[in-house]
Amino acid sequence: MPHSYDHTITGQVIRRLRLERGMSQEVLSGLAAISRTHLSEIESGKDNANVETLWHIASGLDIRLSDLFRRVEDEIERRA
């Protein structure tokens, strides 16, 4: 049974991936071509990123968008 989407989990997954790669928000936001403030709001769950923004973030993290989505889905299922 599918679980509900939670954009705060997406932000947490992005933050974890960024930290695992030793990247600052400044570096990732530059690679993703978004403001550091916007990235911070996404990571903290204050903002819900659209697919295009998630595409850019995934690219900045050097992963496929589908891999980012899979990690988010896995985390949502793990918490259910």
What pLDDT score was predicted for residue 11?
A: 98
Residue ranges covered by each domain of the chain: 7-79
Residues 6+ apart with CB under 8 A from 37: none
Domain 7-79 classification at class level = mainly alpha
Q: How far is CA 34 from CA 10, 41, 53, 77, in A?
A: 16, 11, 8, 29
DSSP annotation of 4 reads P
Cα within 13 Å of Cα(13), Cβ side: 23
* Full pLDDT tens readout for the chain, 80 residues: 467 888 999 999 999 999 999 999 999 999 999 999 999 999 999 999 999 999 999 999 999 999 999 999 999 999 88
Tokens at 37, concatenated: 């403030």
pTM of the model: 0.94
